[in-house]
A and B are shown apart, each in its own frame.
Chain A
Amino acid sequence: MTFADLFHETIAALSANKVRTGLTMLGIIIGIASVISMVSIGEGAKKSIEGSIQGLGSNLLTVMPGVVQPGRAVVSAGRGSSQTLKNTDAEALRDIQGISAISPELNRRFQITAPTTGFNTNSTVIGAEPDYALVRNLITDNGSFITAPHLRGLGRVAVLGPTAATDLFGEEDPVGQSVRINKMNFTVIGTLQKKGSAGFFNPDDMIFVPLSTMQKLLSGDDYLSTIAVSVTDKDMMPIVQQEITALLAERHRVDLESPDFSVISQADILGTLTQVTTTFTLFLASIASISLLVGGIGIMNMMLTTVTERTREIGLRKAIGAKRRDINLQFLAEAVMLTFTGGLIGILLGWLVAFGVTKLGIVQTSVSLSSILLAFGVSGAIGIIFGYYPARRASNLSPIEALRYE
């Protein structure tokens, strides 16, 4: 039997009962489409989280006061209340090899008003140094960021994140206008480009003032809430992380095993979040696989019905010279054709769903090549697995008994 003949027979058999073929295929279509779309949603969520984390700054180490449990990372919001980091700590870190920039920071929430528009917002005010923009990957959209003279002269200047700018000034250009933070007037010298939220940390909704101004005028103390450290090379990160830990432990006179601060790398944060999204993807995919399994059982059911219905035909084929192998191949080809076509349509449908989800702005999805190949493989395999038993049953029929079958 040639391939062309096999193909012809398969098409003829499947088109003989189009409704049944269509309904059986629908099971596979739904199964594959849900696997593709669910995995794409999971992958998309993972990618967007990775993107946000990377966007916070490249090769970033964050030193925070208090102990952050590894694996629970920055999610615990109450942290940072214990005040152990000081400006001198940040200065001391500058001696460590492999550090390209250091940004000591102090955050507080304040009520901020814009006297010209009358709008107000409750937002995080960050006392920052010029290097902040470098370390945290911030780009000014308009005006300039905090400069060294501002820092030295306790300048009452502020840089607004895009969300904060809109909240306070609407569509107006905030540069040159003034804002009131804690009953003090600050001149807006710049706004930042939109960066997107990273979930727990939204750099768009923040207001930046010189660190010195923050410590002396707004908070009244010389503690730091964070020291962000930018490392020159990604490979250097673990070494620099260790050195920072050692140095600060010595300065604070605490045991290395139980420090009063934490050094968190991006990898730690990323690791935790990736773990969450991987579990999430796996969960979605396993639910979708169940529908695929049900679709496969549908195929088997249809093939068994077909074999019974076509018993006489099988008998005839054997009588005129078809071997076991020929019959086996024919029924297997029908099952595989069903699942493969179903798989193809399912992939297209899944893709459309993923595309729709992205378009509707629910989650950014990403359909990966590997998930498409996997879906193809799985649908082919389902055809073979669930087609095998019916095909074997057909090929084992004795020609005479099959011809006598009513």
Chain B
Amino acid sequence: MIEIKDVTKIYKTGDVEFQALYGVSFTIRDGEFVAIMGPSGSGKSTLMHILGCLDTPTSGTYFLDGKNVASLDDDALADIRKEKIGFVFQQFNLLPRTTVLRNVSLPLVYASVRGDERNKKVEKALFSAGFDRSHFLHHSNQLSGGQIQRVAIARALVNNPSLILADEPTGNLDTKTRTARL
């Protein structure tokens, strides 16, 4: 359950202020699929970052599963990102010179999921993203564009997040190219 109310975001660069969000309010219920659309520069990414707990709003409230996250500090936000959110980035951002397996296990490393449980989750996520075992030890720089995208999605799914956010994944994976609340 996402509830945001009167959210504004103002970026400051020196003396210049730039307002990206003007009092956005909406509610997304559990299980809903939502797409945010708009021309470039309209604040889609800013909103995504706030929803993904990567950034905090300048004003307004953001309730994620009944908890106001707008006022949390860095470490508390990191905990929420770790437990509830899976992010597919615009640039995918895989770790360079690192295996597919390691890339996907990264969220579990920080969530302190270890041993068999970690292996199972990683395999499940990779299988569901359409990989077979032969790809597991490929390095991220040996992958094709589509494969990179799928690794990024597997990584977003691996820890069973309640919220999956995908920021303009320009590729061709139709079912997952939207902001999804599972």
CA distance A315 to B94 in the complex (A): 11
Do B98 and A319 touch (CB < 8 A)?
no
Asked if B82 is an interface residue, CB under 8 A from chain A, the answer is yes
Which A residues are CB-close (under 8 A) to B98? 12
Do B114 and A319 touch (CB < 8 A)?
no
Contact of B106 (CB < 8 Å), options: A317, A323, A325, A398: A317
Do B155 and A321 touch (CB < 8 A)?
no
Asked if A16 is an interface residue, CB under 8 A from chain B, the answer is yes
CA distance A253 to B155 in the complex (A): 99
B152 to chain A, nearest CB (A): 10
Contact of A316 (CB < 8 Å), options: B93, B97, B102: B93
Contact of A313 (CB < 8 Å), options: B52, B83, B95, B109: B95
Do B55 and A400 touch (CB < 8 A)?
yes
Asked if B35 is an interface residue, CB under 8 A from chain A, the answer is no
Secondary structure class of chain A's binding surface, majority of residues:
helix
Interface-facing stretch out of B21-29, B57-65, B73-81, B143-151:
B73-81
Q: Number of contacting residues on B, CB 8 A?
A: 28
B129 to chain A, nearest CB (A): 16
B73 to chain A, nearest CB (A): 10
Asked if A322 is an interface residue, CB under 8 A from chain B, the answer is yes
Query: Which A190-234 residues have a C-beta within 8 angstroms of B?
Result: none
A163 to chain B, nearest CB (A): 67
Do A319 and B89 touch (CB < 8 A)?
yes
CA distance A313 to B91 in the complex (A): 12
Q: Scan A298-327; emit 1 where CB is below 8 A from any B CB, else 0.
A: 000000000000001101111111111110
Do B155 and A320 touch (CB < 8 A)?
yes
Do B82 and A400 touch (CB < 8 A)?
no
Using a CB–CB cutoff of 8 Å, the interface residues on chain B facing chain A are 49, 52, 54-55, 74-75, 78-79, 81-83, 87, 89, 91, 93, 95-98, 102, 106-107, 109-112, 114, 155
Using a CB–CB cutoff of 8 Å, the interface residues on chain A facing chain B are 1-2, 5, 9, 12, 16, 312-313, 315-326, 398-400, 403
